[in-house]
Structure 1
């Protein structure tokens, strides 16, 4: 699994450099104890490369407007990130230098009228694949607090945290629906986005399901600690730890093939050019499309092998 090892090495080294430089520029700020920087995406999954962008957002816990109170700090943060990661993230406003929120926004209105795609995406990725760029202690405290929100109304008799599971399912289904909107109404590229949906988004979802199944096995009183432990491990390492048999190995081998192919500049560019109507004419797309079917089948097989037929996760995923 050469590409998993290589992207893991690259991500670890690059994150260390970014963290050091952000700490250096913010250490004299009077507001630095109010700032937490969260990274998600390929950097959160430990599968970044020199061609990756970095999805990030900032939690600023203060009453005053960030644009006024920490304008200089925001510019410093952006300069550090741009220096280390030249690729720009998407233009939806969910991530990037203008994505500044208060932590309270992540905990309130879950599933409510104002829980739009941006808030759902930030909240779910914060849990499922998030890591810190600045403010490690606050990041961990916020993660624990958000998990408590998902579990606080559960009965001690509950087999697993359904509020959390339902939001993980909702997020994954929302990604798939949102994909159709972005490519058909916003004119976004189709081929590469489609392949990423079939692999990186799918493995993220699977990692969330594994975590919740393990919470069920740990029991109600240990839900929080088991979730903190597992969400603190990047998803590929989480799968490696929890499914340490042939099936888990095969999942990672397939994912390694995916990483290898999208890391190839020629294949990546070919995928970017693929339109849905022409997908059957693209050898690059069709190869990865078939591989994604194998990937789905293997993930399903692993879930069935790992957890017996009467395990609560199977019923909860359906009803």
Structure 2
């Protein structure tokens, strides 16, 4: 049941404790705590790998672990980034044997923690040179080499498992590329380049789904649901959080993107609806209603998918139209959040329109 809040009177805004009580009752917060505990265990099991290779490479989780919403059957989606040699920037600091050792430890850790088998039999356990995340940015090679996906998921849904310093170094390198026009425009900077790349990632998710979808394969019903929930939230939570900062401050700074990276997609929605984020009472009240609606739908989606593939598919088939409508309602809530943020000022509306046109 949604809390109903008039949009014009501060005294009708829910108190912080009321807001947190409602949010804490959602399944997604139970899932977040459990995922965080499992992730910490994985990081602990990789501490020797971190000590041996963490100054030359990083391994970061994406997918459900990166979003802090892993379920009982979740696998470990990850990327491996290697730093380059000082004497030859086109070569990795890791040898082929070093990479084998890292991958072997990752597989061992996944098995030790009873995680699902790696997607594609482990064929995606490949490494990227750090510089490749910016070298091909904007080109057709970016998608072909999988650096678009690796870079975007690092920014939008990642948690470092090994090599936090290399992870941060890679993030700083990527941020510098997106903010290359920042100097001289510090007070008014608009992250148009970044927004366009995030939108490109979302469109890539959509067309890739259609490419791989097989008619008559019922598993793709759940994949479609995941596209409309988790994939959509990954991309648009980043846009929403940065749009909120732009609406509030009239600019976006490099540290704002770092703050976006540091929190999960659902936490971004929570953050912009908090009373202390800095919006006036009308905007806070409207945002809280739409965020509550979005996270309620999302929580129900997580609860369904965490029941396991077979049971989730059975329940989806039993109420397919309900789940379709729920996915549409989730998308509408995100759209209303964007519209609300666009209404804050003429400049924020300009950035909102960039998302649309």
Q: CA deviation at 1:88?
A: 2.2
Matching of residue 315 in structure 1 with residue 353 in structure 2: yes
Alignment of 1:61-210 (within 5 A): 61-62=83-84, 63-64=91-92, 66-91=95-120, 95=124, 98-117=125-144, 118-154=146-182, 156=185, 159-184=189-214, 189-210=219-240
Q: CA deviation at 1:215?
A: 4.6
Contact 2:237 2:268 in 1 (8 A): yes
Cα distance, 1:161–1:306 mapped onto 2, change above 3 Å: closer
Contact 2:244 2:341 in 1 (8 A): no
Matching residue within 51, 60, 67 for 1:45: 67
Structure with bigger RCO (C-alpha 8 Å, 6+ apart): 2
Match in the other structure for 2:333: 298
Matching residue within 244, 252, 265 for 2:295: 252
Q: Scaled by the length of structure 2, what TM-score is found?
A: 0.78
Matching of residue 242 in structure 1 with residue 280 in structure 2: no
Helix, strand or coil: the match of 2:78?
strand
Task: Detail structure 1 runs of 4+ shifted over 3 Å in the superposition.
Answer: 92-95, 217-220
Contact 2:50 2:162 in 1 (8 A): no
Helix, strand or coil: the match of 1:101?
strand
Match in the other structure for 1:4: 28
Q: Name the count of aligned residue pairs.
A: 304
**Structure 1 gap segments, 5+ residues each:** 275-281
C-alpha deviations, 1:162-213, integer Å up to 9, x for none?
Answer: 110100011101110110001149x794111100011111111221211331
Q: CA deviation at 1:77?
A: 2.4
Mark the structure with the bigger radius of gyration.
2
Q: CA deviation at 1:43?
A: 0.7
Cα distance, 1:247–1:26 mapped onto 2, change above 3 Å: closer
Q: How many Å separate the matches in 2 of 1:119 and 1:94?
A: 16
C-alpha deviations, 1:212-238, integer Å up to 9, x for none?
Answer: 313534355x51011111221111111
Q: CA deviation at 1:74?
A: 2.5
Q: How many Å separate the matches in 1 of 2:123 and 2:193?
A: 23
C-alpha deviations, 1:98-138, integer Å up to 9, x for none?
Answer: 32111111111112131125221111111011110112232
Cα distance, 1:74–1:163 mapped onto 2, change above 3 Å: same
When structure 1 is superposed on structure 2, of 259-268 and 4-13 the one drifting more is 259-268
Helix, strand or coil: the match of 1:264?
coil
Matching of residue 21 in structure 1 with residue 45 in structure 2: yes
Match in the other structure for 2:260: 230
Q: How many Å separate the matches in 2 of 1:73 and 1:165?
A: 34
Q: Scaled by the length of structure 1, what TM-score is found?
A: 0.86
Q: How many Å separate the matches in 2 of 1:66 and 1:257?
A: 45
When structure 1 is superposed on structure 2, of 86-95 and 72-81 the one drifting more is 86-95
Cα distance, 1:215–1:106 mapped onto 2, change above 3 Å: farther
Q: How many Å separate the matches in 2 of 1:236 and 1:94?
A: 30
**Structure 2 gap segments, 5+ residues each:** 1-24, 85-90, 275-287
Q: How many Å separate the matches in 1 of 2:250 and 2:177?
A: 18
Contact 1:53 1:85 in 2 (8 A): no
